[in-house]
Amino acid sequence: METLNSRVRIVWFAGVLITTAFVGAVLFAVRRFVFDIAVWLPLALAVVIFVLGGIYTVFKYRVWRFEIRDDDLYLERGVFTRVTTVVPFVRVQHVDTQRGPIERLAGLGSVVVYTAGSRGADVTIPGLTPERASDLQRRLRNLAIESEYEDAV
């Protein structure tokens, strides 16, 4: 079983920070323009989101793992709802690598695996170094081609 690069926590936590800043800003705007709320309320809420988000990030990282097995890609994730996904290589339609702005700053990338399924049609593996991401993409693509089966749908 492979775990994600530990820097992915930075990426996730950046998301938490953005949410915190956004909620804080909205509440301050409400305080400024709509009605007077105590100054500590936005601050307290921001702190709560910040702390809970941080804890969530830590747990999320601990749970996240994946493995390339003989015939399929196996993923485990989820803090509250634990999700285990099995994607057989024969079902892989195509594989993308993706790098968002924050991911680029952290020097990370993600691999997105697409299937024709209706539920969870795309499976994302975040927190990979660019080399690992392109290596994984190549490997998954080759495995998908190897196990090619004409009738994908």
Nearer CB in complex with another protein: 46/87: 87
Q: In what order do the strands lie in the sheet with 109-115?
A: 92-98, 109-115, 122-128
The CB density around residue 57, as the number of other CB atoms within 10 Å, is 20
**Length of the chain, please?**
153
For the CB of residue 129, give the shortest distance to another protein in the complex, in Å.
26
Residue where the block lists tokens 């097995």: 69
**Closest by Cα among 66, 73, 67, 65 to 144:** 73
Distances (CA, A) of 66 to 2, 23, 55, 76: 5, 33, 21, 6
**44 or 96: CB nearest another protein:** 96
Q: Which residues of this chain interact with another protein, rule CB under 8 A?
A: 71-72, 78, 80-88, 90-91, 115-120, 123, 147, 149-151, 153
Residue 17 or 63 having the CB closest to another protein: 63
| Residue number, 40 or 80, with CB nearest to another protein | 80
Task: Write down the least CB distance from residue 6 to another protein, Å.
Answer: 25
Shortest separation between residue 32's beta carbon and another protein, angstroms = 33
* Nearest approach, Cβ of residue 89 and another protein (Å): 9
